């Protein structure tokens, strides 16, 4: 089963770093979306990869993850 998680950041550099790290962890590009206007990263992930992806999202200092 897949779950969508959204993380909000304060700057564009953070979301670019998150995207780079997700790609490096072999998360398919079609499984995440970057919104430059709201500075959010939305990731669709299987529950089995949830902790690893949350670690990536949290490593870059989000203001909110839900």
Per-residue pLDDT of 19-59, as tens digits, reads 999 999 999 999 999 999 999 999 999 999 999 999 999 99
Tokens of 29: 């590009």
Total-model pTM:
0.93
Please count the CA atoms within 13 angstroms of the CA of 28 that sit on its side-chain side. 5
One of 3.30.1370, 3.40.50, 1.10.3470, 3.30.43 is the CATH number of 2-65, namely 3.30.1370
pLDDT score for 60 = 97
**At 60, is the secondary structure helix, strand, or coil?**
coil
Q: Where are the domains of the chain?
A: 2-65
């Amino acid at each position: 089963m897949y779950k969508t998680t959204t993380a909000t950041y304060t700057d564009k550099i953070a979301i670019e770093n998150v995207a780079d790290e997700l790609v490096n962890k072999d998360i398919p590009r079609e499984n995440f979306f970057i919104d430059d206007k709201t500075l959010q990263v939305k990731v669709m992930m299987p529950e089995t990869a949830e902790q690893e992806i949350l670690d990536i999202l949290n490593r870059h200092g989000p203001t909110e993850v839900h």
